[in-house]
Each structure stands twice: as structure tokens, then as C-alpha cells.
Structure 1
Amino acid sequence: MIKRRIQQQVTDALDRQAAVALIGPRQVGKTTIALEIGEERGALYLDLEDRDDREKLSNAKLFLTQYEDRLVVLDEIHRVPELFQTLRGIIDQGRRKGKRTGRFLILGSASIDLLRQSGESLAGRIEYVDMQPLDVTEVGAGENALNRLWIQGGFPDSFLARNEKDSLKLRKSFIRTYLERDVPQFGPRIPAETLERLWTMLAHSQGTMLNVSRLASGLSLTAPTVTKYIDLLVDLLLVRRLRPFRANIGKRLVKSPKVYVRDSGLLHALLGIQDYNGLSGHPVVGASWEGFVIENLLAVVPDRTLASFYRTAAGAEVDLVLELPGISETWAIEIKRSLSAKPRKGFYHACEDIQPNKSFVVYSGEERYPVSDGLEAVGVSEMAQMLLEKAGTQ
């Protein structure tokens, strides 16, 4: 059992707000966290994928009012979206009685509809906590844990599988379940085969500029249709579109986002890569490491951090630009898979353009040392820990 850092965040949020929404992809561990918190607080747990539990909420106001002194956990809330309006009335009624915090813990696989409906109905009454797969600060130190996390990804069942073969089978089952059962719940009916081809094409395009027209041509679909499908994968936290850095610096900047399959384990499953040996010889290895580092760093950045990449038509480039909140501090991060932490010339040119407060090369080694004036080499685990500490001071 790996202790998840986010459990304390959820507990703190429940002590501040009437409703807390724990949002994340399926099988990331939301229910496990909720059950542990629920056991501590004597909560009522309702799984809204269970017909009997949904039936209990046929008269939701009457039923839930009976539990105003207990935390109520509502799992898979997207199955009963009309419940949000009822929760608003119950929360307001409880506030008048002095019951202002810790009323509802809402779990849901992230979707724009979920966020929109809860935002409309529970504004000022709900706090969102995003839950992501395991990251490098949670799985323990050492090269073995780091490589295992990279190869098998951060979904707990996959990371904790007995061996690499079992892990790959679990991830392939996860993909199939999403395509055939989960995706249709959140969006218009999409042929599973078409979406799997798109997801695989995005895996082959890991870390490159998003070219919707090329994808549409390969799928014999229109560009707007492909964009809609990608939007859904983004909303479900399965794909990331990393936006380009925006600044008025008199340079011709790339305007297209870069695209990543967010979990490295799912990326490798989509490409049929089982182990380190298979990944090392695959063309995607560099982009896989880049996406892995980006996801692990963004999992621990302070709230309201703006993440982007910088690239000009002349070739100046920074893999990840972090604009930290509060003190308006900018960090420029180059990502290198090799043990050499020497960046490309384009990185130095880009730093001259954007003038970051700090510059780093995140590489596959563990030592921290200066590369040049104002530029440090640092391992991904230490870099993540630095950002986690920065988040704790916000």
C-alpha cells in the first residue's frame, strides 16, 4: 500500500468546505482514498454505478437530509448529474444550522460536463482536488523505482503488478474498458476502434506539435471531429495538450500545442512496449522520457502554475516553462534522457528571450551540479521535490 500525498489535501479541503470533488481518471485510486477518509469519519458511502444505491436517491433530498451529521461519499457522480442541484439546497439548509464543512465527498472521472454542472450548481460550496497517478515523490527513491514508474506508469494496479507482463495486460485492459464502457458515458457515441486508432496515433506523436489535419487524414475524419475526440481524451485526463509560451518578445513563436499521452505506462501499452529493453530501442524513448518528466513535475507544482513550452521558428526551445504563482517566478526546464546534462544551443537562445528566474536541466542521473552560469543539472526526483516544497510555501 502506497500512502498517497493527496489524502491530506482532501482531508484539509473537507475541513474548509461543504463539498469536495475528487477528480481523476478511473483506477487512479480515488475510491481507496475516499474509503479511508470515510472510515475515519464514519461516512456513508454510495456507489452510483450500483443500481441499488442509485435507487436510494430517487428522492435524494429526503434520503440525504437524514445524514446531515455524517460525511456522505458519492462515487461516480457523473451517473446522476441532476444530483448537483439537490446538493446545493441541502448544503444551504445545513449552513443555516451551522453545518458548514465536511458534508459531501464527490468522486468522478474527470469530464468537462462534470466540472461545468458542479460549477453551476455548487459555486462557493465546493472545492476541487485533482488526483493523478503515482508520481516520483510517492514511489520511493532509487533508480529501480524510477524506471518501474516510467515503464509501467503511475496507475497503482499497473505499478504494483507482480511483473512487467501482468502490468502490460492490466494497462491494455484499462484501455479497452475506457474505449468500450467509460468513454460513451462522457461523450457522443464514438466507435471504439476509431478512438483507439486516434489514441495510438497520438502515442506515436508523443511530444510533437499537434497536427489535427494529419490525424484527420489518417482516420478519414474531418478535423473538427478529430478535435472533438481529442478534447474528450483531454477532459478525461488521458491526454495533455501543452500550450506554447505566449509573450510579446518580437520573435516568431510556434503557435500549435504539443501533445502527450499523459501516463507513460499507457503510452507504452498503446505502442506494445513491455519492458525497458523494448523501450530503449524504440523511436519514442526520448519523447516518452520527456512526457514522463513533465507529468511528474506538473503533478507537484503549486496551484495556479502556468505550464507551457517555448519554441521559435529559428529553433530556440525550452521543453517546459513554469510560471509560478504569487511571486511571478519563471523556471525554464530542459529535459534530457541521457546521463549528460549538456543542453542544446537553442535552450540558451530561448533563455535569452524569456529571461527565466531559474534554469535547470532535468536528466536521468541523480547528482545535482552546476552546468554553466545560472544553469543547474538535477534529477527528476529532486526536481519534483523542489517543486513540492515550493507548493507547500504558497
Structure 2
Amino acid sequence: MEESRYIERKISKYVLRAASMYPVVTICGPRQSGKTTLARHLFPDYGYASMENPYTRQAFEADALGFLAEHPAPCIFDEVQNTPELLSYLQGIVDESGQNGMYILSGSRQMELQASITQSLAGRNAVVDLLPLSLQELAEAGVSLSRDEAMFLGGLPRIHAMGQDALMAYPDYLRTYVERDVRRLVNVQKLREFEIFIRLLAARVGQLVNYASLANDVGVSAPTIREWISVLEASYIVFTLHPYYKNYGKRLVKTPKIYFTETGLVSSLLGIRSPEQVRQHPLVGNIFENLVVSELMKAQRNQGMQPNLFFFRDSSGLEVDLIMEEGLVPHPIEIKSAQTYSPALYANLQKFVALEPAAADPTLVYGGEKMGTLQGVRVLSFAQTARIVGAEVIDC
């Protein structure tokens, strides 16, 4: 294994600004996305305690006030979802002090943290979502990935910063997630069925979620499938996109599409063992779509933005892969894995613009490298996806 190196994270400025404005900053995100590394890099003089360590938890539970006396502010508390009671004690300390930047917290289970924060730290805490490494961050670190390498390797820091083999990293990632998080988030009696379910979900990436079909294939009920998807969302394994409608109520009731936060995990779950196998896989288009959607999600999160992404499909069969909404302006985005572009790749963009007069900046993101503007459509390489939200991306 290579010597570990630190890869600069685009979200760093946002985290530092948040720490100057709030007593507490909570860095959320999936396991192994680099939360601890980021916190300790940005705040090297802070104390540190991992609440995932059973001895640390035991010390806190036995004598909370004594524990906090031994870990005074400023301090980093890691994986705080394991000890939600800690937040109540921190509330009293920050209220008495009135200082900003006292505590940096991290956590990998969204729902539990949100509930605890809402109860104890409302108004005192800034929440930041850190996702795995983006292609933009890798490029700035001198790591250039081909289309197929990006889909196979994904963005786990342990792969790019520590040199771990992706064929080992992702099975370990899944095993750790199931053993540490799934058992706690929900009473999953059938872990074998859950693992089958997550593999079937990977085979449906970028597609509408068919709860009945998944339930039938796994051998559980449709409500169980809904619950399991919620579990995956709560721990940042997957996310869903809802259809774009001007009627906001319809966005909530129409069927969403499913995507994985980590594209490398999709490849692993599909049994892909090399970049060459990605290229030959029948789902290469879906995997590439997942890559681009997750890259755009990362770009927005890294700027402290709430994702505003949807997909479009109308009754006549017209589809657009992504709609990025800014105010009342929809920005249509088509995603194609082809490595050469042609007018056929962006025909749906032009149809959508004709249908929706308010649409702006139609963009094609494809698997090649050349960029430009054709017939009013901006053409971007997949490696430049972050440009869609105004980020500066270097060529590498």
C-alpha cells in the first residue's frame, strides 16, 4: 500500500467559514468519505475523541461531566450518532460560552443525527455534508481518470489517498456498512435478503424505483423495500431524484429514480472487476449516468448548496436525464456515455427547450474529452461536470 497523502477537499472553505459563525459544526456523510481526516486537517490544534470506540463511549456514559472535562473545547467528536446524549451536554457548554468554533462533530447516519441536532443544537450548529472525492478534487491532486477508471474506482479516499485496491475496498466498505449501520438503523432480520436487495438495486441504478418488482425478486414485502431504501438514504449509500413538475405536490408523489453516492460501489455490486469490464458491461450507460449525477451532487454540496436536481419525463415519452433548478429556471442536462458526440445525443435537450421557454443553458455531459457549444447546447466532458454549478475545474 502507498503512503497515505492528504487530498485537498473543495468544501474546506465552507467548513472554516461555518466554524467562524457557529459554536458547533457537524460534518455528515457516508462512511469513509474523509470526515475525520478533513476535521483533523482543518483543526489540527483541537482535541479528539472517537465516539465509535467502545471504551470512549463507556467513559462518557459512566461520567459525562468528567469525560467533557478531559475533552474541553475546542474538540473534535467523531461519529457522534453513537452517543446522542453528548449533544445535550454540549448545548449547555456552548450556551454558557457564547464562542464560535468550539466543537467539530462528525457522523455517518443522517436521520439519527438530524433528530439529535434538532433537539439539542438548533440554531447553534452548522451541518455540512462531505461526500467521497470528486473528479474535480482528484484532478487538482494530479489524478487523471479515464471514463472507465472513474466508473470503476469511484471516489473513496482510501483508494486514491492510501492506494488501496478497489477490489478489496468496496467489499470491505459494504461489509462494514451492513455490520455497523444496518443492524442499528433497522431491525433487519434477514441480512442475506438485504444484501441481495442492495445488489439488485445497483442493477437498477438510474431507473425508476419499482417497489413491487424489487419486493418480488428479494422475497419481502413492498413496505419493507421502502423501509430499506430509507435506511440506505439515511446512511448516504443511495439518494433519489424526483421528477420535475411545476406543480410541487406532484414531485412528492411521482416515482423517483435511484442513484448511489459512490459509483465505485455500483461497479463492485455488479461484479465488475476492472475498468475494461465496465466498458463492456450492458449497464455502462446507467453506471455513467450515476457517475455524472453524483459528481454534480458533490459539486453542489462542496459549495454549501442544497441539491436541486430532478429528472424530466412527460406523457409523450420525452425524457431529460437531469433538470437543475435555479429559482424558476430549469437547466436541462443530458448524460451520454458515448465518447464521441453527435446531434442525436442532445436532441431531447432541444425538444425540452422548445417545450419550456424558461429553460436555460442546455448541457450535454458525455464520456469524451472535447468540449464546446453546438447549436446552442453546451458540451462538457464528464471530468468537467462541476462547471455546471460554476466551479473552476482544471484540465489534468
- Normalised by the size of structure 2, how large is the TM-score? 0.88
State the partner residue of 1:149. 150
1:153 touches 1:159 (CA, 8 Å); kept in 2? no
State the partner residue of 1:139. 138
SS at match of 1:127: strand
Q: Percent identity?
A: 29
How far off is 1:220 after superposition? 1.6
Q: 1:33 aligns with which of 31, 38, 42?
A: 38
How far off is 1:38 after superposition? 3.1
SS at match of 2:324: strand
SS at match of 2:138: coil
How far off is 1:184 after superposition? 1.2
Which range moved further: 340-349 or 235-244?
340-349
1:167-182 paired onto structure 2 within 5 Å: 167-182=166-181
1:1-394 paired onto structure 2 within 5 Å: 1=5, 2-39=7-44, 42-58=45-61, 59-64=63-68, 70-95=73-98, 100-140=99-139, 144=145, 147-160=148-161, 162=163, 166-248=165-247, 255-301=254-300, 303-324=305-326, 328-338=328-338, 339-342=340-343, 343=345, 345-355=347-357, 356-372=359-375, 374-389=376-391
The code of the aligned residue for 1:361 comes to: L
Q: Measure, in 1, the Cα distance between the counterparts of 2:111 and 2:236.
A: 11
Q: Over residues 218-275 of structure 1, what are the superposed CA-to-partner deviations in whole Å (9 max), with x where a residue is unaligned?
A: 11211111100010001111112111112259x9x99211112221100011011011
Instruction: Structure 1 unaligned segments of length 5 or more: list them.
Output: none
2:81 touches 2:109 (CA, 8 Å); kept in 1? no
How far off is 1:64 after superposition? 2.5
How far off is 1:54 after superposition? 2.0
The code of the aligned residue for 1:144 comes to: L
Instruction: Structure 2 unaligned segments of length 5 or more: list them.
Output: none
How far off is 1:285 after superposition? 0.3
The number of residues matched between the two structures is 377
How far off is 1:336 after superposition? 1.0
How far off is 1:299 after superposition? 0.9
Q: Measure, in 2, the Cα distance between the counterparts of 1:386 and 1:347.
A: 15
SS at match of 2:158: helix
2:205 touches 2:290 (CA, 8 Å); kept in 1? yes
- Normalised by the size of structure 1, how large is the TM-score? 0.89
2:24 touches 2:126 (CA, 8 Å); kept in 1? yes
2:346 touches 2:377 (CA, 8 Å); kept in 1? no
1:18 touches 1:125 (CA, 8 Å); kept in 2? yes
1:368 touches 1:379 (CA, 8 Å); kept in 2? yes
CA RMSD of aligned residues (A): 2.5
- Structure 1 residues 63, 142: closer, same or farther in 2, change over 3 A? closer
Q: Over residues 103-136 of structure 1, what are the superposed CA-to-partner deviations in whole Å (9 max), with x where a residue is unaligned?
A: 1111100321211221221110000000000111
SS at match of 2:135: coil
SS at match of 2:362: strand
Q: Deviating runs (4+, > 6 A) in structure 1?
A: none
1:158 touches 1:171 (CA, 8 Å); kept in 2? no
Q: Measure, in 2, the Cα distance between the counterparts of 1:283 and 1:85.
A: 51
SS at match of 2:104: strand
- Structure 1 residues 318, 37: closer, same or farther in 2, change over 3 A? same
Q: Measure, in 1, the Cα distance between the counterparts of 2:158 and 2:224.
A: 33
How far off is 1:290 after superposition? 0.5
1:290 touches 1:337 (CA, 8 Å); kept in 2? yes
Q: Measure, in 1, the Cα distance between the counterparts of 2:58 and 2:163.
A: 39
- Structure 1 residues 143, 90: closer, same or farther in 2, change over 3 A? closer
